Amino acid sequence: MAKKSYRTAINDALRSEMRRNPDIIILGEDVAGGQGATGDVGVVGSVFGVLGGLYKEFGPTRVIDTPISESAIVGAAAGAALTGLRPVAEIMFVDFVGVCFDQIYNQAAKFRYMFGGKAKTPMIIRATIGAGFRAGAQHSQSMHPLFTMVPGLKVVMPSNAYDAKGLMIEALRGDDPVIYLEAKTLYDTEVEVPDEAYRIPFGEGRVAREGKDITLVAFGPMVPRALAVAETLAKDGINAEVVDPRTTSPLDEDTILESVEKTGRLVLVDESPPRCSLAADVAAIVADRGFKSLKAPIKSVTCPHTPVPFAPVLEDEYMPNPRRIEAAVRAVMKFD
Amino acid sequence: MQLSRDELKRAYQRMFTIRAFEERVEKEFAAGNIPGFAHVYLGQEASGVGVCHDLTDEDLIGSTHRGHGHCIAKGCDVKGMMLEIMGKAGGLCGGKGGSMHIADLSKGMLGANAIVGGAPPIAVGAALTQKYKKTGRVSVAFSGDGASNQGTVFEAMNMAVVLKVPAIFVFENNGYGEHTAASYSVGGGSIADRARSFGMPAEVADGVDFFAVHEAMGRALEHCRAGNGPYALEIRCYRFLGHFVGDPQAYRTADELKEARANDPLPLFRKKVTEAKLLEASELDAIEKAILTEVEDAAQTAIAAPPPDLKSLEKDVYARY
C-alpha cells in the first residue's frame, strides 16, 4: 500500500466522492483560484493545496470560487444543503469563524431540530486549525470546543492521513452538518492509505498506541505529539496508552473509559485554552463515569488562557509541547 | 398581466387568511395561549401574497421573524401553523420551532428566521441549487428594512451577483426595524439603490397594492428564470402593530398609526376588483366567511391539542449520531 500525505488523503476522498455523487460541490475562497485574473484558473486549489486538481476535473460549476465572504459561503452551503446538494464549504482558517458563526450554529446546525426533523443539512465545513505556523493570534487557533458544544454539529479532527480520508468519506455520505478540522501541521505527514474508498464511522475512537500504565487522550494534531512522548516514556518503563477519539462530537466515551479502567491514570492533551476545553469535558466525563477506575487525579495539558502569541519561542511554549506533556505524565505516575 | 377570476380569488383568499390568522394570533396571545413572542404581518398582506402568487411549491422562500404571512402566502397549512405557534403536537415543526421558526419544506418554505439578516445567505444557497440542477426555479429572500443594514445581506447580494444565481431579494420596508425608524437606520435612505449598487436590477413597489407587487415580482421572475442572475424589490408597506404583539408603540404618534391603518391593502384590493367588475363583493364576502371559519377551527383545534410528547425533546437533532 502506498504512503500518502494527509493533504493527498483529503484530496483523494473528495475526488472519489465527487466522481460518485454529482450533488457534491465545493465552495470557498480560492478553492480553485485565479478567477478573473490574467493567468490560469484552478492553480491554487485552496491555500494549502488540499484541493489541487479538482477544478481541472470538475470545473467551475462544482469547484466554485467565492468572494471573501464567509457568512455568504457558509449560508449558501446551508441553503444548498437544505435544498438537495452536498456542499463542502471552506473556511480557510478556523479563526475566521467569528464572521460567519451565526450561519453555522443558529442556522445549519438547527434546521433539522427547529423544523421538526423534516430537514436534512448534509454539508461539510472544512477549516484549518492549530498553532505552530508563526501565524499569530488570528490564524492559529483551533476552536474545536466551540463547535463541539453546538447540538446539531458533528466535529471531526483527523490526526493522520488514513483517518483523514475515511472520516471525509463518512462526512460526505452522511446527512448532517460536519465541521472537518484539518491540522495545518499535519498536511505533509504520511501513512499508508488505501486507494479505494473506505469509511470511518464517527464516534469510534482509536487506540493509537497500547499501554498499561497511563492513558493519554489527545485530539487532532496533538495525537502525534502524545505518541512521541509515549515513546520517550517507554524508555523509562512507563507504558502509555494513547487514545485518539477522532471525532469530538460524537465522542467515543467508551473507548476512553475502557482505557482508563485498564490504566487507572489519565492525562489529556488538547491544543486549546483550558477553560471549557475538550480536556475539561473529558475530565468531567471520566470523573463521573470512571471514578472508581482512577488511581490518581486527572491532569490536562492545554494551552494557557491567552491568545496565540507570535514570537516563535512564545508560540512553542503556548502549545502543549513534549516537555509539558511528559511532566504531566510523570506527575500523575508519581501520585500514590 | 391580467389575472383570471380564480387567481384573483386565490390572492384575496390568501391576503384575508393572513389578516384573519394574525388577528387571531393577537387575540390568542393576549389570552395567554401563545407562548413566547409573536410578530404579526398585519398591514403587509399584499406584499407576501403579491410576491408568492406566481411561485410554485418548488420555488423557495426564506423568511423573517415576521413570517406567518409568508407561510400563508406560500401555501402552508393554517391549522399546522396555529398548532406550531401554540407549541403543540402536530404543528408544522412538531412544536419545536414556534412562531419564529416555522418551516414547511414541502411548500418550499425554508423557514422563518429569528436572526435578522439570517435568511438571505441561505436563500442564495437555495438559488445555487436551482442553478446547478437547472430546475428553472427561483429562491426568494424576504428581509425587512432592518435586515437591509446587516452585513450578511450585503454578502448575500454580492455572492448572488458573482455566482449569477436566481435569487430575488425582497426587502419589505415597513418603516421600522423593531422600534427604530428606517429613516434613521438606513443610511442613504434607499434599499433599492443598495441592491442596484451590487449589480442587480432593483425596483421599488407599493406594498399596499397587491397588483403593483405582483407586477414587479413578475419582472423579477422573468429576469431570474431567463438566467440573468438576482433581482431586488424594495416593497414599501405599513406595519399596523408594533414590533411584537403587545408593543405599546409610544414611539409612534396616533396620527401615524391612523395613517398606517388607512393604507390597508385589503379594502384597496376589494375596491379595485369590484370596480373593474372582475369579482363581485358577494364573492369576496363568501371568501372571508369561509376563512373565518377555517381560522376559528384552527384556533380551537390548536387550543385543545396536546403538547408535544416529552420523548421528542432529544429527537431529530441529527439524522444519525
DSSP code string of B195-219: HHHTTS-EEEEETT-HHHHHHHHHH
Cell of A241: 496508552
A194–chain B nearest CA distance, Å: 26
Nearest to B123 among A77, A79, A152 (CB): A79
Structure confidence at residue B223 (pLDDT): 98
Residue B311 is assigned to a structural domain of this protein: no
Specify whether the CB–CB gap between A246 and A156 falls below 8 A.
Answer: yes
Asked if B121's CB is within 8 angstroms of A74's CB, the reply is: yes
How far apart are the C-alpha atoms of B263 and B266, rounded to whole Å?
9
On chain A, the residues whose CB falls within 8 A of the CB of B96 are 113-116
Residue B275 is assigned to a structural domain of this protein: yes
Angstrom CA distances, B89 to A116, A153, A304, B50, B309, stand at 10, 26, 48, 31, 7
Using CB atoms and an 8 Å cut-off, which of residues 143-172 of chain A contact chain B? 151-152, 154
> What global pTM score does this model have?
0.97
Query: What are the tens digits of pLDDT across the range A192-239?
Result: 999 999 999 999 999 999 999 999 999 999 999 999 999 999 999 999
Asked if A74's CB is within 8 angstroms of B93's CB, the reply is: no
Tell me, yes or no, if A69 comes closer than 8 A to chain B by beta carbon.
yes
* Interface mutation target, options B152, B161, B169, B198, chain A, most CBs of A under 10 Å: B152
Using CB atoms and an 8 Å cut-off, which of residues 70-99 of chain B contact chain A? 91-97
Residue B268 is assigned to a structural domain of this protein: yes
Residue B271 is assigned to a structural domain of this protein: yes
Specify whether the CB–CB gap between B143 and B64 falls below 8 A.
Answer: yes
The rounded radius of gyration (Å) of the Cα atoms in chain B is 19
Residue B157 is assigned to a structural domain of this protein: yes
DSSP helix/strand/coil, B281 = helix
Residue B309 is assigned to a structural domain of this protein: no
Asked if A120's CB is within 8 angstroms of B103's CB, the reply is: no
How far apart are the C-alpha atoms of A141 and A311, rounded to whole Å?
15
Tell me, yes or no, if B318 comes closer than 8 A to chain A by beta carbon.
yes
Asked if B91's CB is within 8 angstroms of A116's CB, the reply is: yes
Nearest to A85 among B94, B122, B132 (CB): B132
Cell of A234: 517507554
Q: Could you give phi then psi for residue B181, rounded to 5 degrees?
A: -70, 145
Tell me, yes or no, if A247 comes closer than 8 A to chain B by beta carbon.
no
Query: What are the tens digits of pLDDT across the range B153-177?
Result: 999 999 999 999 999 999 999 999 9
The DSSP string of A16-35 is: HHHHH-TTEEEEETTSS--T
Residue B203 is assigned to a structural domain of this protein: yes
Distance between start and end Cα atoms, chain B: 51
On chain B, the residues whose CB falls within 8 A of the CB of A178 are none
Omega cis (within 30) before A322 = no
Query: What are the tens digits of pLDDT across the range B241-260?
Result: 999 999 999 999 999 999 99
How far apart are the C-alpha atoms of A90 and A70, rounded to whole Å?
9
Report helix angle B5-30 to B45-52, nearest 10: 140
Instruction: Classify burial at B258, counting beta carbons within 10 Å of its beta carbon; exposed 0-12, middle 13-18, buried 19 or more.
Output: exposed
> Where are any strands of DSSP class E within chain B?
60-62, 139-144, 167-173, 176-177, 180-181, 202-206, 231-236
Tell me, yes or no, if A38 comes closer than 8 A to chain B by beta carbon.
no
Asked if B92's CB is within 8 angstroms of A76's CB, the reply is: no
Half-sphere exposure of residue A74: CA atoms within 13 angstroms, side-chain side: 27
Tell me, yes or no, if B155 comes closer than 8 A to chain A by beta carbon.
yes
Total of domains in chain B:
1
Specify whether the CB–CB gap between B264 and B43 falls below 8 A.
Answer: yes
Q: Could you give phi then psi for residue A129, rounded to 5 degrees?
A: -130, 160
Q: Could you give phi then psi for residue A27, rounded to 5 degrees?
A: -145, 145
How far apart are the C-alpha atoms of A299 and A266, rounded to whole Å?
7
Cell of A103: 450561519
- The answer to whether the complex's ipTM is over 0.85 is yes
Question: Domains (ranges, CATH) in chain A?
Answer: 3-192 (3.40.50.970), 206-334 (3.40.50.920)
Using CB atoms and an 8 Å cut-off, which of residues 163-192 of chain B contact chain A? 163
Q: Which domain holds residue B138?
A: 5-304
- Averaged over successive runs of 10 residues, the pLDDT of chain B (321 residues) comes to 92 98 98 96 98 98 98 98 98 97 97 97 98 98 97 98 98 96 96 98 98 98 98 97 93 95 97 97 98 98 98 97 94
Q: Could you give phi then psi for residue B274, rounded to 5 degrees?
A: -80, -40
- What does the angle CA B47 – CA B50 – CA B53 come to, to the nearest 5 degrees? 140
Chain length of chain B: 321
Asked if A152's CB is within 8 angstroms of B321's CB, the reply is: no
Residue B224 is assigned to a structural domain of this protein: yes
Structure confidence at residue B1 (pLDDT): 60
CATH of the domain at B85: 3.40.50.970
Asked if A76's CB is within 8 angstroms of B159's CB, the reply is: yes
DSSP A90: E
**Widest pairwise Cα distance in chain B:** 60
Helices (H) and strands (E) in chain A, counts: 12, 14
How far apart are the C-alpha atoms of A81 and B125, rounded to whole Å?
8
Using CB atoms and an 8 Å cut-off, which of residues 36-55 of chain B contact chain A? none
Structure confidence at residue B2 (pLDDT): 84
Based on the residue annotation, tell me whether A139 is a catalytic residue of this protein.
Answer: yes
Count Cβ neighbours within 10 Å for each residue of A59-69 and write b for 16 or more, e otherwise: eeebbbbbeeb
On chain B, the residues whose CB falls within 8 A of the CB of A118 are 93, 103-106
Using CB atoms and an 8 Å cut-off, which of residues 275-314 of chain A contact chain B? none
Cell of A210: 497500547
Asked if B158's CB is within 8 angstroms of A116's CB, the reply is: no
How far apart are the C-alpha atoms of A74 and A90, rounded to whole Å?
8
DSSP A231: H
A 10 A CB-CB count for A257 gives: 18
Structure confidence at residue A152 (pLDDT): 98
The residues of chain A scoring below 70 in pLDDT are none
B84–chain A nearest CA distance, Å: 10
| Smallest CA–CA distance from A114 into chain B, residue | B97
Asked if B126's CB is within 8 angstroms of A103's CB, the reply is: no
